[in-house]
Structure 1
Amino acid sequence: MSQFKTLRYEARDRKAYITLSRPDRLNAIDDDMPGEIRAAVELAESDPDVHVIVLSGDGDAFCAGYDLKKFAEDGNSRWNQAGPSWDPIQDYRGMRRNTDDFFTLFRALKPSICKIHGYAVAGGSDIALSCDLVVMAEDAKIGYMPARVWGCPTTAMWVYRLGVERAKRMLLTGDKIDGKTAAAWGLVLEAVPAERLNARVEELADRIAGVPTNHLAMQKLMINQALDNMGLTSTQTLATLFDGITRHTAEGRWFKDFAEQRGFHEAVAWRDSGRPIPNGGGPLPMEKA
């Protein structure tokens, strides 16, 4: 058993288990988690006995995304540079590192399965969709709500998994969908009743674990190459730049000011209510969200 601050790692029976473990924050992503995901994947990669990686989350959810309550309510952070100017390359450098850390799950030669219960939203969906296979509980939810303001999914996997129109359906609304819908649309492999989730993931992992690791690597490399040929890397570069821009537009700064003054939860309530977010920013509303 290897010790990390934000996750647990264990290898047994030809499987490596990576479990996000900040349950008091719904496994929200802090500054340490992306690098620890990379380190855990590298442990699995270097272990000749491991054939498949299983990623899950402790507590009530898989992952509620970046710890935006902290990042939005803080007066300044590397993700929200204060002052009249913004350094896009500083922002890109940090967020690209996080994206590449998540994407070690995709680039690893060993296949990965993500098990989703509760929520896999915002940055949590970026992590989940970096895995090769995703199995959800039927009542779990997945979505990228910051598409409404203050975010762009940096791994860009929505379009590669869903196709153009359904990716637009999700990212032009910021809506969440349940596991049944996600499976029907092809976003995830399948959805099962919550009480069957653990057993179904184990069945799938055991089936994969019976294949030699070199065969698994070659099949995965071949399939991944198809996505690379479709421009995956360049799309991620654009998405990562856009993510920084969304946080530093006038509208993004309006949302940030709202969160600092009224609290993140009230800012989110306004964002999700359908009420307009002022184009070009503007004064904060007098009424409560």
Structure 2
Amino acid sequence: MAYEHILIEKNDGIATVTLNRPDKLNAWTRIMEREVRKAMEDAEKDDDIRVIVLTGAGRGFCAGADMDLLSGIEDGSEKREPGSVYGTEAYNVAIRADFQTQYSYFPSISKPIIGAINGPAAGLGMVMSLYCDMRFASREAVFMTAFAKRGLIAEHGISWMLPQLIGHSAALDLLLSSRKVTAEEALRLGLVNQVHDTDALLPAVMAYAKDLANNVSPRSMAVMKRQVYNAKFQTLSEAVATGNEEMLKSFASEDFKEGVAHFLEKRPANFSGR
């Protein structure tokens, strides 16, 4: 399909989704919301894609909700479609309801989603970055919740996700103050995994993504991602039981056989994902 507010590029097992409103610092729109979800779901179904990268065009990642959209909510002209809380797909009983809301669906995508945060990530832009499985940031990146300075609250699950990443007190600091957090501070807080010079950001992200796409079992990545997100709702004993069950299933998989074979034969892996 043709996209209006995003770009899609697929190479070497990687789908790169680029928010593409650079003149607006990629401010979020309803069109962008639908297109990002469609792109993620398409990548999920594409057997040739093993890793997804989310980034922004130009000098920003996403400056938050477009002010026209916010104005529409404020004056009542922006209406949500009935049932839109679950996005574009019908409710799936096989996936936790927590991971099927308007923006919290990234954990339900079985493939790793890496956020390449190339510039400001504010408000809803910061929310979307948090739902990525990992975040690599440019030194020019800044993070800001923004909500308190707009008369809003901790939206779209950020009140759950942010403390998961950086802890209770640090999360309240960022939410209540709406202050700007540099890439270096974000790294210290655990908000991002790596920081790179601007020109080196995408090469670093792509090198990491290619390693996952070429050398790691897609089946293992999917199971591990599901385990880690579901474990947030489990006791230790439940997580152990899940791990034991999944280990038995992995022994019967083609990827396990290939994992042993390529190691013993000292050759590159050729995982099928099955």
| Band the TM-score falls in, shorter-chain normalisation | 0.7 to 0.9
2:169 is aligned to 165
Q: Unaligned 5+ residue runs, structure 1?
A: 80-89, 231-289
Shift of 1:75: 3.5
Q: CA contact under 8 A between 2:85 and 2:102: conserved in structure 1?
A: no
Q: How does 1:1-289 map to 2 (within 5 A)?
A: 2-72=1-71, 75-78=75-78, 94=84, 97=87, 100-148=101-149, 149-156=151-158, 157-210=161-214, 211-229=216-234
Highest RCO, 1 vs 2 (Cα 8 Å, sep ≥ 6): 1
Query: C-alpha separation between the residues in 2 aligned to 1:69 and 1:186?
Result: 33
Shift of 1:10: 2.0
Q: CA contact under 8 A between 2:104 and 2:156: conserved in structure 1?
A: no
1:147 to 1:228, Cα distance in 2 relative to 1, 3 A: farther
Query: C-alpha separation between the residues in 1 aligned to 2:68 and 2:183?
Result: 26
Query: C-alpha separation between the residues in 2 aligned to 1:166 and 1:134?
Result: 18
Shift of 1:227: 2.2
Q: CA contact under 8 A between 1:38 and 1:101: conserved in structure 2?
A: no
Query: C-alpha separation between the residues in 2 aligned to 1:142 and 1:14?
Result: 29
Query: C-alpha separation between the residues in 1 aligned to 2:42 and 2:69?
Result: 30
Q: Quick one: which amino acid aligns to residue 173 of structure 2? A: R
Return structure 1 stretches of 4+ with deviation > 4 angstroms: 90-99
2:232 match: secondary structure: helix
Q: CA contact under 8 A between 2:115 and 2:132: conserved in structure 1?
A: yes
Aligned CA-pair RMSD: 2.3
1:121 to 1:50, Cα distance in 2 relative to 1, 3 A: same
Shift of 1:77: 2.7
Task: Report which stretch shifted further, 221-230 or 66-75.
Answer: 66-75
Give per-residue Cα distances to partners, 1:197-223, cap 9 Å, x unaligned: 111111111111121211110111111
Query: C-alpha separation between the residues in 1 aligned to 2:232 and 2:156?
Result: 16
Q: CA contact under 8 A between 1:121 and 1:144: conserved in structure 2?
A: yes
Shift of 1:151: 3.5
Q: TM-score if structure 1 supplies the norm length?
A: 0.70
Query: C-alpha separation between the residues in 1 aligned to 2:154 and 2:187?
Result: 23
Query: C-alpha separation between the residues in 2 aligned to 1:76 and 1:180?
Result: 40
Shift of 1:195: 2.2
Query: C-alpha separation between the residues in 1 aligned to 2:2 and 2:197?
Result: 31
Shift of 1:92: 9.9
Query: C-alpha separation between the residues in 1 aligned to 2:116 and 2:148?
Result: 24
Percent sequence identity over aligned pairs: 28
Query: C-alpha separation between the residues in 2 aligned to 1:21 and 1:102?
Result: 18
Q: CA contact under 8 A between 2:61 and 2:121: conserved in structure 1?
A: yes
Task: Report which stretch shifted further, 153-162 or 114-123.
Answer: 153-162
Matched positions, count: 219
Shift of 1:68: 2.2
Query: C-alpha separation between the residues in 2 aligned to 1:124 and 1:162?
Result: 18
Shift of 1:118: 1.6
Shift of 1:95: 5.9
